């Protein structure tokens, strides 16, 4: 893509990944043009982003926010058109004047615009792991049929991708298994019996990464790693037993490929999302990301530990759902989104998140047909959310 301007839509531009994307983009005005930005809550930040990057269109969830945004943009003489709702997100993701879509919405809400980008054959930079966890085979088929290029942004998957040859047909013969690294989050060393009374503020205080609140809670339960195992299954077409997880508290090695001959390839760097974001933006080239460089002489040591499954019971659900009925990963994701939102709102305790996830999975049979549609998946997502809310009600009564 060198020499040509890459026209970019950033879905979820006001979030942690979205803002880091704009940070990288701003370093390369000759390479990138921002065509669309979107936000669900932070209209103040979206106004600033529109003023700075002058996108053609900005998308917000409702008319109330659109009215506020239009007034602010008019006051600042910014000509960005304001559009409303999920349909406008998918339209932007598939628009003719968009080459690349950064999918940085959090949760299953990002699936429809991701599917639209995939079907329209875009370069799709995927941070929104929940979209792939829910979409699974349907998502990957849309990527293939639409001729899209799927580029992983999650740091572990970017690491694996960077360790593999550009020619995807060589992947299967090369990989014995992959090892996803996990920091263990804020509770790696905390007594598991004391986890029930941790607060949202303690749970979102990640030792190495600064991220949105939902993924920070997922890191504390290690559900984030469970979602990443499922994500890796689809991105690299690997059977579940070929995906392993190891604790690596320093977050310097971002993940590893163990090759058939026993050779291990790893990608290292400081824990900064700007590196995988810059790689997705510039692939197959490399551009300045703005991330701090790794100083080997400052590194004390790189250590590894097994995951304590008693402390992090949610991790096992990744392999269980991948081996279970089609749609099980979508049920797990929906239950987890509901449970994490309730935990952040102070309605349930930290250890109840896993109980809600496991009980919802036990109760709900997904019943997805092999040729299911996006609508079937969205209906299943709704059913699983309702089931998870019911489970939470019952838990409160106990």
Q: Is 16 in the site for ligand NAD (CB under 6 A)?
A: yes
Binding residue count for Mg ion, defined by CB under 5 A: 3
Contact 70, 64 (CB under 8 A): no
CB 8 within 8 A of CB 32: yes
127 versus 335: smaller Cβ distance to Mg ion:
127
**Which of 107, 327 has the CB closer to ligand NAD?**
107
Q: How far apart are CA 100 and CA 10, in angstroms?
A: 9
| Closest CB to ligand NAD among residues 93, 127 | 127
Interaction residues for ligand NAD, span 186-225 (CB under 6 A): 209, 211-212, 214-215
129: contact with ligand NAD by CB under 6 A: yes
Q: Give me the least distance between CB of 152 and Mg ion, in Å please.
A: 10
- Spatial separation of the C-alpha atoms in residues 66 and 78, rounded to whole Å: 14
Choice between 159 and 342, CB closer to Mg ion: 159
Q: Tell me which of 128, 251, 255, 282 binds ligand NAD, using CB under 6 A.
A: 128
Q: How far is CA 262 from CA 174, 175, 267, 357, in A?
A: 10, 10, 17, 36
**143-172: which residues touch Mg ion (CB under 5 A)?**
154-156
Strand ranges across the sheet with 264-268: 243-247, 175-182, 253-259, 264-268
Q: Which residue is nearest to Mg ion (CB)?
A: 154
**Closest C-alpha among 197, 171, 129 to residue 348:** 197
Q: How far is CA 52 from the centre of its chain?
A: 26
> Is residue 218 part of the contact set for Mg ion (CB under 5 A)?
no
Asked whether 203 and 343 are in contact (CB, 8 A), the reply is yes
Give residues 71-110 in contact with ligand NAD (rule: CB under 6 A): 104-107, 109
Query: Which x/- pattern over 37-66 shows residues binding ligand NAD (rule: CB under 6 A)?
Result: --xxxx------------------------
> Closest Cα partner for 186 from 156, 223, 225, 217?
217
Residues 325/372, Cβ–Cβ less than 8 Å: no
Nearer Cβ to ligand NAD (271/313): 271
* Closest distance of CB 156 from ligand NAD, Å: 8
Q: Interface with ligand NAD by CB under 6 A: which range of 124-132, 133-141, 161-169, 349-357?
A: 124-132
- Give the DSSP per-residue string, 78-107: ---EEEESHHHHHHHHT-TT-SEEEE---S
Q: Does 226 bind ligand NAD (CB under 6 A)?
A: no
Binding stretches for Mg ion (CB under 5 A): 154-156
């Amino acid at each position: 893509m060198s020499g040509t301007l890459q026209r970019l839509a950033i879905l979820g531009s006001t979030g942690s990944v979205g803002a880091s994307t704009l940070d990288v983009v701003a370093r390369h005005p000759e390479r990138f043009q921002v065509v669309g930005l979107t936000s669900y809550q932070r209209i103040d930040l979206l106004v600033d982003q529109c003023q700075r990057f002058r996108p053609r269109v900005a998308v917000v969830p409702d008319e109330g926010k659109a009215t506020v945004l239009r007034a602010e943009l008019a006051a600042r003489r910014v000509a960005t058109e304001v559009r409303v709702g999920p349909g406008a997100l998918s339209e932007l993701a598939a628009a003719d004047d968009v080459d690349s879509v950064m999918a940085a919405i959090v949760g299953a809400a990002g699936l429809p615009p991701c599917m639209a980008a995939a079907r329209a054959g875009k370069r799709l930079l995927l941070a929104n792991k929940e979209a792939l966890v829910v979409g699974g085979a349907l998502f990957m088929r849309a990527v293939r049929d639409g001729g899209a290029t799927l580029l992983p942004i999650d740091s572990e998957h970017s690491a694996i991708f960077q360790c593999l040859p550009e020619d995807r047909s060589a992947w299967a013969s090369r990989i014995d298994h992959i090892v996803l690294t996990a920091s263990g989050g804020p509770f790696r060393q905390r007594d598991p019996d004391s986890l029930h009374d941790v607060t949202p503020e303690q749970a979102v205080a990640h030792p190495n990464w600064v991220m949105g609140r939902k993924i920070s809670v997922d890191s504390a339960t290690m559900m984030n790693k469970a979602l990443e195992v499922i994500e890796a299954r689809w991105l690299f077409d690997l059977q579940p037993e070929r995906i392993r997880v190891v604790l690596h508290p320093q977050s310097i090695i971002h993940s590893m490929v163990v090759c058939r001959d026993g050779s291990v390839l790893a990608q290292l760097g400081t824990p900064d999302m700007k590196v995988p974001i810059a790689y997705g933006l510039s692939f197959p080239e490399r551009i300045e990301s703005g991330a701090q460089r790794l100083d080997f002489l400052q590194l004390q040591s790189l250590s590894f530990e097994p995951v304590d499954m008693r402390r992090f019971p949610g991790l096992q659900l990744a392999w269980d759902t991948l081996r279970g009925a089609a749609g099980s990963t979508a049920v797990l994701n929906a239950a987890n989104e509901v449970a994490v939102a309730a935990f952040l709102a102070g309605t349930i305790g930290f250890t109840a998140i896993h109980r809600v996830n496991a009980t919802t999975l036990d109760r709900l049979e997904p019943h997805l047909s092999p040729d299911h549609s996006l609508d079937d998946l969205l209906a299943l997502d709704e059913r699983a959310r309702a089931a998870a809310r019911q489970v939470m009600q019952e838990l409160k009564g106990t």
